[in-house]
Amino acid sequence: MCFKTLLQAGDSDKNTPLHIAARMKNEEIFEYLLKRGRELKISSSKGKEENNIYGVTEPRNWLGQTPLFECAKYNRKSFMEKLLSEQPNSSKWTKILDQLKDQNQMTCLHIACYNGSLDIVKYLTTLHQISINPYASTRQTPLYGACEGGFIDVVRYLLDYTDANPTIRTAKGYNCLDIAIARHHHEIVKRLLEYPEWRTLMESVQYEDSDVPITPMRRLIISMPEIAYELIDKHFTTIIGDADQPKHLIKYDYTFIDDHYNICDWQFDDLVDKPGSKLSKWYKSILTKVSIPDRRHPYTPSAYTLLRNHPLMLMSQCSQEKLITHPLCLALRKAKFRRFSRWILLLSFLSYIMFMALYTIVVLQTIHPQHYYDLYNSSGNASGQNIEWDYGFNSDVCRRVGIYLIESGNTDARKTTNQERYLLMLDVLLIIFVIKNGIFILASFPRFIRKIAYYTEALALVLVYVCIRDDNSWQSSLNFRCPIQWELGSIGLLLSWLVFLSYMRYIPWMDIGLYVVMLNVILLKFLRAIPLLMVLFCGFGFTYYMLLQYQTVYGTPFEAIFRTALSLFDLGYESRLYNPPTGVMYYPVVYFVFILTQIILTILMTNMLIGLALGEIPTLKTQATLLRNKMMYELFFDYEIFHLQLKTIVRIILYFLMCRVCRRRSNSSTQSHHIRPSFSLFETHVNDEIIDDQSSDTASLVKKYFKWFRDTITEDDIQSLIMVERNYQYYHKEMHTGKDQAN
C-alpha cells in the first residue's frame, strides 16, 4: 500500500516518479517503477482497465501529460518501447495514441515534433501508424511544431516519408511557412518552398492586430532577402528559349508581388478576421454585400496603406539592393510607372524647365537696383540728399527711387511687353506648382515631413513670387525691384536651379541621374565632417581675431571665423603678414599660425574631402545606384498614391451622382426595368495585370456606364441603393456623435 502511494505521489507539477525517471534517463528505475505499477494495476476502474494503461494513459501531470509524453519530449525511444510493448494489436495502439492528448490537445507526435525527437517521430509513424496531421487546441499540427522549433531533420522526414500537410493553418491563420519565416529558420523555409504545393503555402495572410497585412512574401523580403531572390528567380520567372534564339520569351508571375487584390481571396477563404477602423469596415461591407460580377477590390480603401505595404516598397525601405534590381521587380515597376506616373513626371519636368527658363530670362533682363540708386543720387533730387545702399530694409527709400524712375520716364526701368507676358506665364506656372506640391505633400500623409524636395521647391517658388510680385502700385509698370526683393529673388534663382537637380535624378540616359545621386551621397558624407571643420574654424578664427582684429576682415569674431573658413581655398597671407607702408611683419606668431592653417585646412582637409569623393568612387557608385533605385520607387509610389486617391475621389463623386439619379427616378417613375447597379465606380482599383493596351478610354467608359444604368435599373435596386446611402449618412452621424461625447 505504501508503494502504491509512492507511485501516485507527485511534485509541484504533479509529476510522478515514473515521469521523473523518464525525464532523467534512468532506465533501471524507470523499468522497475513501470513493472511494479502495472503489477498493482493502478487504474480508475476495472471496466476501463484495457484502456487505462499505466505509463501510457496514466498517471497525468498538471499539463495532462503521461510518462509516455515525457519519453516523446526527451527522445527516450527505448523507454517508449517498454511502455508500448504489452499491446500486441498495433491497430489498438494506433487508436489509443490518436486519442491520447494533453490539456492542449497535443498528441505524443506533437510533443516529439515540438522538441525535435526524430527517433520518436520515426517510431510512432512507422511502427504504430499514428495520425500525422492531428489538430492541437489552436489547430497546430506536428509538422507546424517542428517548423516552429527549427528541427530541419524532423521536417524533412515528415515531408519526405509521411503525408504531413504543411498547408494546414492554425487558428490565427499561420501555416508552416509563416512560422518558419517568423522564427528565421532558413533551411526549413527552403525545404518548404520545394514542396509541390508551395503556392498554397505562399497564399497566406495575417493582420496581427493592425490594418496592415503580412504575407510570406513580405516576411521573406524583410528577414530573408536571399531566399526571396531565389524564389523570384526560380518560381516567379519563366524563360522560354535562349537569348540567341528567335523565340525567346521571359514571363513574370506578379501574383505574390503585386498582391493587393489577391489578399482578399486569401483572407476570406480562411475566414481571417481583419481588424480596422469603422470606415474601412463600412467600405468593406459595401463591397461584400453588393455582388460585383468579374470585379475585385483591394484589401483596404486607404491608398497610402495599400502602397506603403506593397512588397516593392518594402524592398526599397529595407534597402534590399539585390531584390529591387531583379529584372522582375524592375519590369513591374516600369510597367506600373508607364501607366500614369511617367506622364505626370514628364509634364512636371517640362513645366519646371519652362518656369526656370522664364524666371532666368526675367532676372537677366532686369538691371541691379544699385544702378537705379546711383541714377537717383546723380540726378540732383529735390531734397538734395543722397541715399545709400541700405540692404533693402528701408521700403520708403525704394519707393522714392521708384517714383523718381516713373517721373523721369526712364525706359530701362519699365516693363516691356515681352516681360509682362513672361511674368503672366510665371504667375500661372507658380499657381500650378504650388497646387501640385500641396497635393503631393498631402497625398503622402503621414510621411509628408520627409518630402524635402517638395518643400525645397515650394520655398524656391515663394522666393520667386516675392521677387516678381509688384508689392506696391508704383511697381506695376516697372521692372525695378526693391533690394530686399532682389536679394530674396537671387536665393530663389539659386534654389530653382538646385531643385532642377531633383528632376535630373530620374533621367536614365548617360548615367546623368546616377551622377546627380552620387553628388547627393558626397554631400551627405561632407555633412558628417562639419563638426570637425567647425572645431578647426573656431580654433583658428578666434586666434586670428586675437592677433589681427585691427584689420577689417578680422574685425569681429564672426568675420574672423568666416575669413578662416574661406582660407581653406585662399590664404591671402601677403596682405595679412606685413604692414603695407613699412613692409615690416606684424607678429612672428602670425606666420606660424598661417603655416598651421595651410597644413591642416588647405592640405589635410582638402585632400581628405577629395579622397572622400574620388578615392571611394566604386563604393560611391554602388551607394548611389542603390539610393537612385530607392528614389525611383519612392517617386513611383508617391505618384501612384496620388493616382489612386484621384480615382477614388472621381468614383465617389460618380457614386453619389448615381444615388441622386436613383432618387429622382424612384420619385418620378413606377415602371420596372432590369439591372442591378454596379459599385465598380466606387472601387479603388489598380489593375494587377500590367497590360498597357487593355486600358480603356475613361470618357467612353462613363458614357457606356450611364447608358447601361439608364436602360436597365429596377425599382428594387433603386431602393437598395438609397438604403446604402442612408447607411453611409448614419455612419457619419454616428462618428460625429461619438466625437462629441468624447469631447
How confident is the model over 527-554, as a mean pLDDT? 81
CA distance 231 to 223: 14
* pLDDT 10s digits, 579-624: 555 554 455 555 556 666 665 655 566 655 666 556 566 666 677 7
pLDDT at 693 over 50: no
Q: Predicted confidence band at 157 (pLDDT cuts at 50, 70, 90)?
A: very high
Cα separation, 127 vs 98, whole angstroms: 14
Of 157 and 49, the structure prediction assigns the larger pLDDT to: 157
307: nearest Cα among 202, 445, 200: 445
- The CA–CA distances, whole Å, from 640 to 182, 257, 335, 550 equal 30, 16, 12, 62
Q: H-helix or E-strand containing 252?
A: strand 249-252
- Calpha distance 239→250 (Å, rounded): 5
**694 vs 662: which has the higher pLDDT:** 662
Query: pLDDT value at position 229?
Result: 93
What pLDDT is attached to residue 670? 45
Higher pLDDT, 114 or 48: 114
How far CA 735 is from CA of 470, 498, 648, 660, in Å, comes to 47, 46, 21, 23
Report yes or no: 670 and 715 within 8 Å, Cβ to Cβ: yes
CB count within 10 Å of CB 254 equals 19
The answer to whether residues 287 and 253 touch, using CB atoms and an 8 Å cutoff, is no
CA distances to 85, 339, 444 from 680, rounded to whole Å, are: 67, 20, 25
Grid coordinates 533551411 are at which residue?
187
pLDDT given for residue 184 in this prediction: 94
What pLDDT, in 10s, does the model give residues 695-718?
444 445 445 544 555 555 555 555
More confident residue, 681 or 468: 468
The answer to whether residues 185 and 147 touch, using CB atoms and an 8 Å cutoff, is yes
| pLDDT score, position 30 | 85
What does the pLDDT read at residue 53?
82
What pLDDT is attached to residue 641?
74
CB atoms within 10 A of CB 523: 9
Per-residue pLDDT averaged across 657-665, rounded? Answer: 68
pLDDT score of 240 more than 60: yes
Highest mean pLDDT, choosing among 218-227, 535-544, 671-680: 218-227
The region of weakest confidence among 178-192, 335-349, 628-642 is: 628-642
* Mean pLDDT score, 246-252: 82
Average pLDDT over residues 365-384: 76
491 phi and psi, to 5 degrees? -65, -40
Work out the number of other CB atoms within 10 angstroms of the CB of residue 164: 24
Domain boundaries, the chain: 356-521, 527-615, 645-742
Contact 359, 493 (CB under 8 A): yes
More confident residue, 34 or 351: 351
The Cα 421–Cα 457 span in angstroms is 23
CA distance 548 to 563: 12
pLDDT in the model for residue 449? 62
Window from 8-22, 173-187, 640-654 with minimum mean pLDDT: 640-654
In the structure, what pLDDT confidence band is assigned to residue 380 with cuts at 50, 70 and 90?
low
- Give 741's pLDDT tier (boundaries 50, 70, 90): low
Average pLDDT over residues 174-191: 94
State the pLDDT at residue 125: 92
> What's the pLDDT band for 289 if we cut at 50, 70, 90?
very low
What pLDDT does residue 690 have?
40
pLDDT in tens, 39-84: 776 444 454 445 678 888 888 888 889 999 999 999 899 899 888 8
Query: According to the model, what pLDDT value does residue 443 have?
Result: 67
Work out the pLDDT band at 551, boundaries 50, 70, 90.
confident
Q: What's the chain's average pLDDT?
A: 76
pLDDT, position 159: 94
Percent of the chain with pLDDT over 70: 70
